[in-house]
Structure 1
């Protein structure tokens, strides 16, 4: 919006008071324009000073992997051919065609120095499986590196070099204050072309690709193969991301790149540097994000939180958390969704006693949980459900689901522990809401309305209870191959 200001120039020179007011007005206008300019910062005139400042801390990484030769490579020569003896002699002498010697495979990537004594951050996939790692510095010298530790979950690795002199390094900035539209600069070794920079803006925050601890900054700064492990700088020369991945149909930059946020990376590097491994907090529950229909079925006021689907042996079971609880707050921090809770728990100190607020039976409850260590948690292997649907007992159709009570035979076929009550799903109407929400033959419904069910009549009763309570959906706890999740299905009027 443009504002017009009328200034009475005509009589300004005739009055001292007018002159003072005029000068004050001009000053106010200048301050206003300066403020507007500061709020809407334009593109930097040049990135040269920033590049000069941080370049000495950015490195190129070359890895060497010894690939064992194949021992069964045999030339395709017909038996009795005049070439048969020639090829046999050639291979016996260790000729190239025999693949008798191991070969060296090289790969390139990027990284950056985070301390004057030679700790370097890069991506795990840059150095994974490497037998030798060499670091090339901007000034031109090369040093061998040793691996300190890796974290495949965030694709971060820490290396160490030994230098006779202190190395120039960069520091991590606060990625949480980065905003969409902020200028950023990427630096690294794209496509093996050597030290190179590219600039762009923060396109989006909080992107997740496929990891439980993902917190990526999306940027349109050009990132290509070879940039992996390199830094993403803010305009203060601080690292706010580690360039990790691109979205591209052709393998080259199309302006959609992802950098792991520095607030994730800095915690990981601190642990790798100190312990050589990560030490993440472990709550010990299986969870899912609360959806709108699940919130309605449970009587939640807001569509937020993490819904507990199972509580195996561990910290949460010891503290009294239960399946069906919705975690609203963890360690005095609001829980928005399941992914956010996983990241927050992972960033919390192992062994810390934290306050957990849950929604249970229509009201909130606070429990204290002492966190375990995720890396030490035992993985429980669940049996795989049989593909074939059982053939016998009587079945009932509800919500588009054909169900029958669990028998010992069904429990064995579906991998359900003995003594478990519930309904086995025999078939699902593909036109039903249940099908669209992922229910399939072989699933087992063990709860409805957060109460255990053993028959189709129990399921009908829980649906009627939900209808009488004024709800539009009934909440089901469904297990598939042992893995639980909650599904809310709409209640049809009679």
Structure 2
């Protein structure tokens, strides 16, 4: 048996040393959150609310009908529903909710989510030292889900505010909150994406993370590794009711702008163009002669709104605003909402295949979202019933119908037969205002345009249904 040489031992020692260095480098690369948590936690608060509800008059030991609920929810209610004597008629029930927040000024201003304190009759803020203070509601902004509270205090601990614009996808972030009432719970993750738009949230470019967020975390801060607040944890996307790796935070830049306006005037002013827009998909891009799917397609222009006064038209595709590109249609509301009424904006649009600039003076967003009531559609009008390759019978709009729908022209769908129209979901009562990038003014013109539609190429059509307009695309087969 041969004896290992000195060279062999040296090689073995070098390999062990290299493994040790690699392990050390790996451990050094993992973040240490301990200092951040120690410094930031005192400014994070627990928020509980109480809402007084009218007496339901539930009979003694009577349970509501739970048969229609899924088994998971039925089991929950059966387990948690109080079975004692029902309250008297002169008493009130109390609904409670729980959330998080954080102190942004030494004199006691606190930021949280609107949905945490919505409809509350009493708001309690519990500090890190377990003391509880009643909070006054300064103002709320449901559109961004931000609320500003005020508690009495001096020299209170505060968070450091960061710059959410400087966040990078992939960097570490950390949340502190009260999930399920467990105060000052810490969870960590990374930034998964920026500028996300969620359904019914047009004015917030959300920060998406994989930080574990659960009920009670809402309103709590999202920190970067410098210990600065970069967002307010607001929502999760879930199909199970629990955390599934998708959480969303309101950028702190957006939240602080809202906070400043609430503090000054109790409400938030936003810019408004007065248009209804939709996403530009691949087929729409092809039909409008665009190189790639991008921009915001104008599906509807509100009468007498800023866009209408500036000459913006249905079918325009907005590619940029004040030099900032509109990649997704949701980018436009974020940019417009950040402007104040009276601000000037320059829009780069594509109209009939040509680039042009439209200058607009931004208006003030109405208190309630503008809505177009299409009204009822009558039965007047002569139907164009000959074959128009689309498989629809259409009729001219009456003057009354145009007024109801607030459209200058178009045709009313009277009947849908087998064909392309049925395949794309057109229905009787729909109004077609544009076909193949041409404004439709009569049933005869519609038939003429339909006869000359190209084959095997995306064709756009603008349809108004119940007052709502949108562009759809289809292809005619060979």
After TM superposition, the score normalised by the length of structure 1 is: 0.78
Q: How many corresponding residue pairs?
A: 434
Match of 2:138 in 1: 148
Change (3 A) 1:118 1:76: closer
Change (3 A) 1:110 1:472: same
Aligned: 1:159 with 2:149: yes
Aligned: 1:349 with 2:340: yes
The one of 428, 434, 458 equivalent to 1:473 is 458
Matched residue SS, 1:345:
helix
Change (3 A) 1:365 1:416: same
The one of 169, 193, 197 equivalent to 1:204 is 193
Aligned: 1:233 with 2:223: yes
Paired residues of 1:383 and 1:415 also in contact (CA < 8 A): yes
The one of 217, 234, 252 equivalent to 2:207 is 217
In structure 2, distance between residues paired with 1:399 and 1:238: 61
Question: How far is 1:58 from its partner?
Answer: 0.4
Matched residue SS, 1:51:
helix
In structure 1, distance between residues paired with 2:237 and 2:368: 34
Matched residue SS, 1:344:
helix
Change (3 A) 1:365 1:253: closer
In structure 2, distance between residues paired with 1:276 and 1:161: 16
In structure 1, distance between residues paired with 2:306 and 2:128: 48
Match of 1:362 in 2: 353
Question: How far is 1:340 from its partner?
Answer: 0.7
Match of 1:138 in 2: 128
Change (3 A) 1:347 1:171: farther
Match of 1:124 in 2: 114
Question: How far is 1:331 from its partner?
Answer: 1.5
Change (3 A) 1:113 1:152: same
In structure 2, distance between residues paired with 1:253 and 1:241: 18
Paired residues of 2:416 and 2:426 also in contact (CA < 8 A): no
Matched residue SS, 1:66:
strand
Paired residues of 1:462 and 1:474 also in contact (CA < 8 A): no
Match of 1:316 in 2: 307
Matched residue SS, 1:213:
strand
In structure 2, distance between residues paired with 1:417 and 1:235: 53
Change (3 A) 1:118 1:419: closer
Matched residue SS, 1:379:
coil
Question: How far is 1:427 from its partner?
Answer: 1.6
1:177-231 Cα shifts (integer Å, max 9, x gaps): 3333321111011111222211222233333332112422232322111111001
The one of 452, 469, 472 equivalent to 1:484 is 469
Aligned: 1:186 with 2:146: no
Paired residues of 2:390 and 2:450 also in contact (CA < 8 A): no
The one of 275, 278, 284 equivalent to 2:274 is 284
Match of 1:440 in 2: 427
Gaps (5+ residues) in structure 1? 1-32, 78-94
Paired residues of 1:121 and 1:158 also in contact (CA < 8 A): yes
Matched residue SS, 1:304:
coil
- 1:52-91 to 2 correspondences below 5 Å: 52-70=38-56, 73=58
In structure 1, distance between residues paired with 2:387 and 2:44: 64
1:61-81 Cα shifts (integer Å, max 9, x gaps): 1112122224x556699xxxx
Change (3 A) 1:448 1:97: closer
Question: How far is 1:456 from its partner?
Answer: 5.2
Match of 2:71 in 1: none
Match of 1:450 in 2: 437
In structure 2, distance between residues paired with 1:391 and 1:75: 62
Question: How far is 1:112 from its partner?
Answer: 0.5
Paired residues of 2:59 and 2:86 also in contact (CA < 8 A): no
In structure 2, distance between residues paired with 1:348 and 1:177: 21
Identify which range, 397-406 or 153-162, moves more after superposition.
Answer: 397-406
**Runs in 1 of length 4+ with deviation above 6 angstroms?**
388-392
Paired residues of 2:420 and 2:476 also in contact (CA < 8 A): no
Question: How far is 1:162 from its partner?
Answer: 1.9
RMSD: 3.4
Change (3 A) 1:434 1:231: farther
1:129-187 Cα shifts (integer Å, max 9, x gaps): 11111111112322221111111112111111121x22221133222333333211110
In structure 2, distance between residues paired with 1:54 and 1:436: 57
Gaps (5+ residues) in structure 2? 1-20, 63-84
Paired residues of 2:352 and 2:437 also in contact (CA < 8 A): no
Paired residues of 2:384 and 2:443 also in contact (CA < 8 A): no
Change (3 A) 1:372 1:408: closer
Change (3 A) 1:310 1:192: same
After TM superposition, the score normalised by the length of structure 2 is: 0.81
Question: How far is 1:398 from its partner?
Answer: 4.2
Change (3 A) 1:462 1:394: closer
